[in-house]
Structure 1
Amino acid sequence: MPKSTKYRAKIADAQGHIAYTAEEDAVWADLYAAQQNTVQKYMARDYLNGLKRLELPKTRVPSCKDISERLLDLTGWRVQPVPALIGFETFFGMLADRVFPAASFIRSREDFDYIEEPDIFHEIFGHTPLLSDPRFAAFSRAIGKAGVQAEPKDYAWLIRLYWFSVEFGLRWQDGEIKALGSGLASSPTELVYAVESDIPERDPFDVLTILRTPYRIDMHQMGYFVLQDPEALFAAADRDLLADVKQAQSLGLLPNKFPPKATAAE
């Protein structure tokens, strides 16, 4: 997550609704239009089934309150608007309470194809479809519960499991690689890149390897992890993730796959 942002949070009214401008609604509409055919081709059924369940609006920014009402019925989760940047401690605590923190602003036209920090399109279009599935929702909560018990020095290690699964995970489906992560679903460019490009490496899903793998927030990834079956992800929720973090720390970070001038996220 970047340490600063040019964006400012949108504030909800007393009823929990946020007033978006006509231009902001137009950005949402254009992002949705740009992604709707691409996600059908490249995203896994797990995500697509969730997108269908939620029936997100196509021409305006949806209300977190409205999305929460649907999620509460499906999985007991809700979505809460937050500033663009929150700390790991807050993030983990909210997940543990079945609350998904959603940055309330929407990207500008300048950042249409790629934005470093999460915006409302990433949060709602990217994340909430999987949160409508009890299995994936339980995994996110397991990450949060582990984070609540972790020490600050463990945060950057634990978050890698979330990053390479919920955010940028891939899976095998009917003999093909499909995208699973929210960061891919909401990116007009990285979704196709993650599935089709010959540039990134694609390794089997392995918790310890993931915890030791550096990542970047300001460019497409140089490596992804592929689930043979989502059951491997759900099984990870039952592991002692903090013990896994300690073991990963004892083994150390794996070599950085990014260009020499790049600095890995810690």
Structure 2
Amino acid sequence: MSALSGDPYGHSAEKSRYLSAPRRPDFTLDQDWGSYSAAEHDRWDRLFARAREVLKGRACDPFLTALNTLQLSETGIPELEKLSARLKLITGWQIVPVAELVPDDIFFDHLSHRRFPAGAFIRPEHEMDYLQEPDIFHDVFGHVPLLADPVYADFMQAYGEGGRRALDLGRLKNLARLHWYTVEFGLLKGANGLRIFGAGILSSATESVFALEDPSPNRIGFDLERVMRTNYVIDDFQQTYFVIDSFEKLLEDSYRDFGPLYARLGDASDIAAHDITETDRVINRGTRAYFNNKPKAASAVQ
């Protein structure tokens, strides 16, 4: 749960009680599981039931398998300490509760040591369908299951290790785009068609359908340099989704020295979120119908 160079979110009442809680130098705090209300546990249960139904035939197999392995289907908001104990036995990862988006250097340090920072608060009732800030449902339901996949777990650790160098070289913008278009909004080419693995899609019932089935967005084969040049919008459905061939290939592409790539990107122009380039491996060329029919308004582009 990192700002990755910007925190555009406000503070809900649910979040505010954690903002005043004691925190450690690494921004972690105690979950205080007993403080969740019955209404908050019910909110988790409704979000979970809806997402699990929508994701049948849409989420990638490793995610669906891990939901059962990690026992995320238990009633109510998970106790992160118990969930961490189960996850650590599988891939060595832990979940550490935080109150808000943590500084980028802290975030990368956690990932590089196989610790995933998860927001301890749950979204308010009026944000059930559109979430303005990452909460425990997004972070735990969306992100944590795939940390039980050994290859994906290695990719996330490698990403954390690469983050510290990106900060030193002033290339965080490019690395953040890799995170956005894979970890948050990535699609996977499966035996039965495209499947979802990005947490931002998995934790959104509406975008789970849109990302796979709506004709509006582009769906393009993953290319690391192309992704690192591509802008994204943070307050709407994605205009382009990138499709990886496998977690093994994603790790292979990402586990290398980015120095020469960053040097090339220094002179390269950014690519708009909706653009298709001549070298793209186009899986679906979007109609843009959804985006063209929306009222014109300022969007937050990163």
- The structural deviation recorded for 1:175 is 4.0
Asked which structure has the greater CA Rg, the reply is 2
- The structural deviation recorded for 1:255 is 2.3
- The structural deviation recorded for 1:99 is 0.7
Q: Does the alignment pair 1:265 with 2:301?
A: yes
Q: Distance in 2 between matches of 1:262 and 1:245?
A: 29
Residue 248 (structure 1) aligned to one of 250, 253, 265: 265
Q: Distance in 2 between matches of 1:210 and 1:128?
A: 23
Partner of 1:150 in structure 2? 166
Q: What amino acid does structure 2 have at the position aligned with 1:78?
A: Q
Q: Does the alignment pair 1:69 with 2:85?
A: yes
Check conservation: 1:204, 1:227, Cα contact below 8 A. Answer: yes
RMSD value, Cα: 2.2
Q: Distance in 1 between matches of 2:244 and 2:182?
A: 9
Residue 227 (structure 1) aligned to one of 219, 236, 244: 244
Q: What amino acid does structure 1 have at the position aligned with 2:210?
A: Y
Q: Does the alignment pair 1:129 with 2:150?
A: no
Aligned to 1:40, what secondary structure does the other structure show?
coil
Aligned to 1:232, what secondary structure does the other structure show?
helix
Q: What amino acid does structure 1 have at the position aligned with 2:121?
A: F
Q: Distance in 2 between matches of 1:88 and 1:242?
A: 19
- The structural deviation recorded for 1:202 is 0.4
Q: Does the alignment pair 1:26 with 2:42?
A: yes
Bigger drift between 66-75 and 145-154 goes to 145-154
Describe the superposition over 1:198-237 as per-residue Cα deviations: whole angstroms up to 9, x where unpaired.
1110000110011011112211111100112332212123
Describe the superposition over 1:22-67 as per-residue Cα deviations: whole angstroms up to 9, x where unpaired.
1110100100111111112210112112222111144300011111
Cα 1:15–1:85 shift into 2, 3 Å: closer
Q: Distance in 2 between matches of 1:131 and 1:263?
A: 31
Partner of 1:197 in structure 2? 214
Partner of 1:60 in structure 2? 76
Cα 1:165–1:57 shift into 2, 3 Å: same
Check conservation: 2:97, 2:120, Cα contact below 8 A. Answer: yes
Partner of 1:207 in structure 2? 224
- The structural deviation recorded for 1:265 is 3.4
Q: Distance in 2 between matches of 1:169 and 1:62?
A: 25
Bigger drift between 61-70 and 50-59 goes to 50-59
Q: Distance in 1 between matches of 2:102 and 2:174?
A: 17
Residue 174 (structure 1) aligned to one of 157, 176, 191: 191
Q: Distance in 1 between matches of 2:138 and 2:127?
A: 12
Check conservation: 2:220, 2:241, Cα contact below 8 A. Answer: yes
Q: Does the alignment pair 1:238 with 2:255?
A: yes
Aligned to 1:226, what secondary structure does the other structure show?
strand
Q: Structure 2-normalised TM-score?
A: 0.82
Aligned to 1:81, what secondary structure does the other structure show?
strand
Check conservation: 1:96, 1:148, Cα contact below 8 A. Answer: no
Partner of 1:115 in structure 2? 131
Aligned to 1:233, what secondary structure does the other structure show?
helix
Identity of aligned residues (%): 34
- The structural deviation recorded for 1:243 is 3.4
Q: Structure 1-normalised TM-score?
A: 0.92
Cα 1:72–1:245 shift into 2, 3 Å: same
Check conservation: 1:158, 1:245, Cα contact below 8 A. Answer: no
- The structural deviation recorded for 1:166 is 1.4
Q: Distance in 1 between matches of 2:263 and 2:177?
A: 14
Q: Distance in 2 between matches of 1:15 and 1:212?
A: 38
Partner of 2:8 in structure 1? 3
Check conservation: 1:158, 1:211, Cα contact below 8 A. Answer: yes
Q: Does the alignment pair 1:80 with 2:116?
A: no
Q: How many residues align?
A: 266
